[in-house]
Structure 1
Amino acid sequence: MNYLWKDNLTPPKFPRLEGNAETDVLVIGGGMAGVLCAAQLKKSGVDCILTEGEKIGNKITKGTTAVLSAQHDILYSDMIRDFGATYAKLYLEANLRAVEKFRELSKDIPCDFEEKPSYMYSLHDGSRMKQEAEAVNSLGFDAVFSLETPLPFRVAGAVYYPGMAQFHPLKFLYGVAKKENLNIYENTFVYKLKGTTAYTKNGTIRAKKVIVATHFPFINLHGLYPVKMYQQNAYAVAYENAPDLGCTVIDAAENGIFLRNYNGLLIVGGGSHRTGKKGGGFNVPRDFAKKYFPDAKEKYAWINQDCISLDGIPYIGHYGKLLPDVYTATGFNLWGMTTSMAASEILSDLTAGRYNRYAQVFAPDRKMKAGKALANIGISALNLLSPTVKRCPHLGCALKWNSAEHSWDCPCHGSRFKENGEMINGPAMRNAHVKQTN
């Protein structure tokens, strides 16, 4: 993969843990959520250690499209219907607050921060767009329904959000880590958590509280995360010689197109599909660009993964009822930047025993949608029973060969492995035993 955000950027270096350590709060995971949590804890005067199995920002964060927006698909009208206007407004406020927090922090951290309004459009259902705009307006935000967009084709309707933004995620992440002088240990893989004691190859870390910020939580027996969440692959291609839209754009259709600019490039995202299942892929953004921007020239292309919650709302809070001192932030869907920032404030409060007004919205123990949970379980059950030798070391599901990316992918919970079985992304905690393919 050819990742845009890693190009011409030298990452900071942090030591590996050698020996045992103690701390008030241990943060496991060095992506955007983990680093922001550690920074917020340190600002609150809390002694904190962050561990990362590889290099900070080198997993999911390096593949994000890095949009700072509270426009999270067609969500607010659904939230009002399913949870009520109070919860929907709190969710909106939490994400608007996150955008503002990024705006403030970027004044001291060079990260190519740019003010960019956001459009969400539909090609066929203008009434749904109008309904969403009205729902957001009822929550106190001035969204605008429009038939006009900067796109080179007509739409049935669009929702316009002013005051959104975008940035360079790794420049920001590295800047926070250095500016706050965070206590980070890289190449320090936590392979087991017992209570609030973390075990690594070179020592243990004893903590009073633990935050698991590993994209997909790795403790299987608590919280039911394999039941109430799954992963999907997402694809992005960056083009030269393409227009500057002056905004970010999302297609309201399921697994639709996404657009943003950066430094003379146009990023086209699309083709998402459940990890381990066929469909989508790089052809979707490439075909879109070929149709609407025929003179564009491809420069970067990469794949990423998103954790998808069953109700469209992240899980931020206590990991599980039997783990009172362990917390998590996961299930960010397609909106990991603002929800990472929201998680940092929520978990900083919860680990200190403070009330946070947004915590109730994101509580991991909220009621699941039974139908979607059963469907998710059904997919896992089918793959558990599939008669193949190549199994995922996470929970034993049958691995599927991904010929496009030359990887072994798990359709149950989304772990991915290189052709030789080396782990790419979890929740698996070790490599898979597979034979080399031709």
Structure 2
Amino acid sequence: MTDSLWVKTTELPSYPPLREEIRADVAVIGGGMAGILTATFLAKAGLHPVVLEAEQVGSGQTKNTTAKITSQHGLLYAHLIEQFGEDLAQQYAHANQQAVSQYRTLIAEQDIDCAFTLSPAYLYSTLAEEPLVQEAQAARRLGIDASFTRHTELPFSVRAALRFDGQGHFHPLHFLKALLSSLEIYEHTPVLSIDQNQLVTPHGIVNAEAVVFACHYPFINSPGYYFIRMHQERSYVLALENAGNMEGMYLGIDESGLSFRPYGTYLLLGGGSHRSGENTAGGRYERLRRLAQQYWPKSREVAAWSAQDCMTLDGIPYIGPFSSSTPNWYVATGFQKWGMTSSMVAAQLLTDQILGRKNPDAAVFSPQRFKPSASAKMLIEETAHATTGLTKTFFDPPRTELETLPIGHGGIVEYNGQKAGIYKDEKGEIFVVSVKCPHLGCQLEWNPDEKSWDCPCHGSRFDYKGNLLDNPAQTDLPHK
């Protein structure tokens, strides 16, 4: 994976690690969009937040987003009305519409130069129109400006499309950078443990009245049990030059549907989504490259990267109190590939909850919700995935021999009489790691597109040397 277009065009300030014991009104764990926005709103409300970031600000999922600011989140609203009723569906729609408006307001008030552009957002299908007709009807019932159409700017014909007006896109790291100067931030400060409201880091301690987990995937397993209620998915993006001009943002609802959005003279082409740990065959980037050449033969690739997203049981983020047994702990996770609007929703909801203010849209996002008709099937599937991953660790034999592993490839082999993960680089050098995920012990799988070891159970990821890339795991892999 190379750096995203956002990373290539941004230099963020750096901050020191925490090296003392301090007090704060709120400790925000995570320096991505959700954490920084939450800290910004808390500070505006007169509280003293501190942000604790394990690596660097914006270095997690925020740097890899496609940065669509939209309340159009796939085929969602018809599902919400059916499963949760119109009142809760209305809360979700209103919260996300407000999030789009709040971005516009904040950017205008602070005169933030982040290439914010109003843009319609489209869902499209090359196969069927009825799902889009139903989604259009549902969206309009909830007060969203949605219209059914068959006309798009796409380089291929579609059966049908659904257009949401008044949406937008921006440069996420330019926006994030503008918010940092007023905040107290500590980088390279992972939270190792929390005892009630005391947070322990490698070289310091924070005593806080409230704690916000805005670190993508909560790293504490109990209470909350978020590892049972979420999985993670990866998707892939190319940034292209000379790929024509588009005004709108597009997302295909078909199984192999693509994502499109413009950024200045560039076009972002995305797709290839899969559950983390389920890409042993690879080829996701290559498919996008073939399509880019098919649709725009004169286009040129300037960046390629991937993103990882937490997916909840029922398709709604978990935003609110962390658990019933941890007063003053809060969480924002499970953003379902819509991290920009969900981050703004989380910042506003959590600020209201910490201040004791009632927010009319809070119920639909409650982490304590469970509706069997919407969640039971997915809960069974998540349990099955975890069981399979654990079983492989103990019972699956190695899949190849070290001598037969090709140059530039990784695989699970027998090494010194034990099962191990091996990667042979282009020079033939061998890198050996454990394939047992340090989170809960599931067997890792090789991802040839990223040259990484990925967990199919809960989405932890490690590079070929064993260095941690994505949580919920908190430690590197043992390696030789």
User: What interval of TM-score do these two structures reach, taking the shorter chain for normalisation?
Assistant: over 0.9
Q: Per-residue deviation at 1:281?
A: 2.1
Q: Does 1:407 align with 2:408?
A: no
The secondary structure found in structure 2 opposite 1:324 is coil
Match of 2:222 in 1: 221
Q: Give the distance between the partners of 2:317 and 2:288, measured in 1 at CA.
A: 26
Q: Give the distance between the partners of 1:415 and 1:430, measured in 2 at CA.
A: 10
Contact 2:127 2:254 in 1 (8 A): no
Q: Give the distance between the partners of 2:189 and 2:370, measured in 1 at CA.
A: 35
Q: Which runs of 4+ in 1 moved over 6 A?
A: none
The secondary structure found in structure 2 opposite 1:249 is strand
Amino acid at match of 2:380: L
The secondary structure found in structure 2 opposite 1:301 is strand
Amino acid at match of 2:286: N
Q: Give the distance between the partners of 1:237 and 1:308, measured in 2 at CA.
A: 23
Q: Give the distance between the partners of 2:283 and 2:127, measured in 1 at CA.
A: 20
Aligned in 2, Cα 1:29/1:160: closer, same or farther, shift over 3 Å?
A: same
Amino acid at match of 1:111: C
Q: Per-residue deviation at 1:127?
A: 1.3
Match of 2:56 in 1: 55
Match of 2:410 in 1: none
What is the number of residues matched between the two proteins? 433
Match of 1:258 in 2: 259
The superposition leaves residues 377-404 of structure 1 with CA deviations (integer Å, 9 ceiling, x where unpaired) of: 1101111111355211111111112222
Match of 1:428 in 2: 473
Match of 1:124 in 2: 127
Q: Give the distance between the partners of 2:194 and 2:297, measured in 1 at CA.
A: 51
Q: Per-residue deviation at 1:280?
A: 6.5
Q: Give the distance between the partners of 1:72 and 1:116, measured in 2 at CA.
A: 15
Q: Give the distance between the partners of 1:78 and 1:255, measured in 2 at CA.
A: 21
Q: Give the distance between the partners of 2:309 and 2:283, measured in 1 at CA.
A: 14
The superposition leaves residues 310-336 of structure 1 with CA deviations (integer Å, 9 ceiling, x where unpaired) of: 211100011111112111000001100
Amino acid at match of 2:383: I
Q: Give the distance between the partners of 1:191 and 1:256, measured in 2 at CA.
A: 40
Give the 5 Å matches for 1:321-400: 321-368=324-371, 369-386=375-392, 387=394, 388=419, 390-400=435-445
Q: Per-residue deviation at 1:142?
A: 2.1
Structure with the greater alpha carbon radius of gyration:
2
Contact 1:275 1:410 in 2 (8 A): yes
Contact 1:229 1:310 in 2 (8 A): yes
Contact 1:29 1:52 in 2 (8 A): yes
The superposition leaves residues 179-209 of structure 1 with CA deviations (integer Å, 9 ceiling, x where unpaired) of: xx10111111111122111110111111111
Contact 2:283 2:449 in 1 (8 A): no
Please point out which of 149, 152, 155 is paired with 2:155.
Answer: 152
Contact 2:65 2:307 in 1 (8 A): yes
The superposition leaves residues 399-423 of structure 1 with CA deviations (integer Å, 9 ceiling, x where unpaired) of: 1122221111111100100111110
Amino acid at match of 1:375: E
The secondary structure found in structure 1 opposite 2:25 is strand
The secondary structure found in structure 1 opposite 2:15 is coil
Q: Give the distance between the partners of 1:255 and 1:82, measured in 2 at CA.
A: 26
Amino acid at match of 2:302: K
Give the 5 Å matches for 1:16-415: 16-107=17-108, 108-178=111-181, 181-254=182-255, 256-278=257-279, 281-368=284-371, 369-386=375-392, 387=394, 388=419, 390-415=435-460
Q: Give the distance between the partners of 1:367 and 1:356, measured in 2 at CA.
A: 20
Contact 1:271 1:283 in 2 (8 A): no
Amino acid at match of 1:383: G
Q: Give the distance between the partners of 2:211 and 2:71, measured in 1 at CA.
A: 28
Q: Give the distance between the partners of 2:330 and 2:256, measured in 1 at CA.
A: 30
Amino acid at match of 2:44: K
Q: Give the distance between the partners of 2:88 and 2:293, measured in 1 at CA.
A: 41
Q: Does 1:417 align with 2:435?
A: no
Structure 1 runs not aligned, ≥5 long: none
TM-score, normalised via structure 1 length:
0.97
The secondary structure found in structure 2 opposite 1:227 is helix
Q: Give the distance between the partners of 1:364 and 1:419, measured in 2 at CA.
A: 35
